[in-house]
């Protein structure tokens, strides 16, 4: 039997929050000074410090049953992630069913932004149902594991990427 999605069960906020705590716990386990930012802090979820280096981290989760990590483009239509800086990272978390541990994919936020923009551009150019054009004002963005498997597999659990 297929698992019911977290959104339909009304537990998506709990799962979203757990992803941030999973990332923070993993960094703390590696003896990296880590802090969860207050809810609704713009752009970032976690700050991590290792020696003289700081990483600003955005966390995006997907449930195991989901087709990919999803964003809503806010503000200007030409970007999804705001105010990307040099030490700006996005950790994609795949929340797997217990007892398996979550999977982590560590990317620069600028890479994620490029993937989302290119994917959206391809989607808009491809005709929709019955050959109708797709809306350029659609704010939904999706990053599918299958389409970016090579990159994501190369960054699976690569926490050291935060400090390179």
Please report the domains of the chain, with CATH numbers, ordered by start residue: 6-163 (3.40.1350)
pLDDT greater than 50 at residue 6: no
Q: Supply 118's token pair.
A: 């290119």
**What tens digit of pLDDT does each residue of 58-83 get?**
999 998 788 899 998 876 666 788 88
Give the pLDDT confidence score for residue 28 in this predicted structure.
Answer: 97
Give the pLDDT confidence score for residue 4 in this predicted structure.
Answer: 47
Q: What is the pTM of this model?
A: 0.88
**What tens digit of pLDDT does each residue of 110-164 get?**
999 999 999 998 998 988 888 888 888 888 899 999 999 999 999 999 999 999 8
Give the pLDDT confidence score for residue 75 in this predicted structure.
Answer: 65
Which regions of the chain does DSSP assign to beta strands (E)?
33-36, 46-50, 53-63, 69-72, 88-95, 103-108, 140-143
**What tens digit of pLDDT does each residue of 18-63 get?**
899 999 999 999 999 999 999 888 899 999 999 999 999 999 999 8
- Alpha-carbon separation of residue 138 from 4, 50, 59, 84, 87 (angstroms): 26, 39, 23, 22, 29
Whether residue 56 contacts residue 74, with contact meaning beta carbons closer than 8 Å, is answered with no
Mean of pLDDT values over 2-30: 74
Q: Supply 73's token pair.
A: 């483009």
CA distance 84 to 111: 10
Give the pLDDT confidence score for residue 59 in this predicted structure.
Answer: 96
Q: Burial letters for 89-109: b for 16+ Cβ neighbours within 10 Å, e otherwise?
A: bbbbbbbeeeeeebbbbbbbb
Give the pLDDT confidence score for residue 21 in this predicted structure.
Answer: 94
């Amino acid at each position: 039997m297929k698992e019911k999605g977290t959104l339909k069960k009304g537990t998506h906020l709990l799962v979203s929050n757990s992803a941030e705590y999973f990332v923070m716990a993993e960094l703390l386990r590696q003896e990296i000074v880590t802090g969860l930012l207050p809810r609704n802090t713009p752009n970032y979820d976690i700050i991590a410090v290792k020696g003289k280096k700081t990483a600003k981290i955005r966390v995006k989760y997907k449930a195991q049953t989901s087709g990919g990590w999803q964003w809503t483009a806010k503000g200007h239509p030409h970007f999804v992630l705001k105010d990307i800086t040099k030490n700006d990272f996005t950790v994609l978390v795949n929340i797997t069913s217990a007892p398996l541990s979550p999977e982590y994919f560590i990317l620069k936020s600028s890479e994620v932004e490029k993937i989302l923009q290119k994917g959206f551009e391809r989607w808009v150019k491809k005709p929709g149902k019955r050959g109708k054009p797709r809306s350029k004002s659609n704010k939904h963005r999706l990053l599918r594991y299958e389409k970016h498997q090579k990159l994501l597999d190369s960054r699976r659990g690569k926490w050291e990427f935060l400090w390179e």
